Amino acid sequence: AYRDCGLSFREISSCIGRNQTTVMRICDRWMQEGTTDRRVRLHPPQCTSSRDDRRIVHMAVTDRSVTSQTIAQHIQSVTHHPVSAGTIRLRLQPS
């Protein structure tokens, strides 16, 4: 409605107290999709980054006797995000 009144993104963001980039993104989504609803994800977001994945592989290759649980505990202590031993095993599977 604000855009229909001819207001700029900056003016809209100051009126509603949101970041200008957020306003631009929501307006763009409205123009592209006709909705401002968030997109439905088919899968949950990954709990490890590509850097974490490289660290996991490095730890496993460096010490072949290390368990997935030990690697998970180490990654969790570094990233402060919960990581399961199953996630570690998935990251170590050949693709």
Domain limits, the chain: 1-40, 50-92
Q: What pLDDT band is residue 42 in, cutting at 50, 70 and 90?
A: confident
Instruction: Render pLDDT for 49-77 as a digit per residue (tens, 0 to 9).
Output: 999 999 999 999 999 999 999 999 999 99
Give pLDDT, residue 38. 75
Could you please report the per-residue DSSP string of the chain? -TTTTT--HHHHHHHHT--HHHHHHHHHHHHHHS--SPPPPSSPPPSS-HHHHHHHHHHHHH-TT--HHHHHHHHHHHH-S---HHHHHHHHS--
Give pLDDT, residue 11. 92
Q: Looking at residues 25-43, what average pLDDT do you find?
A: 81
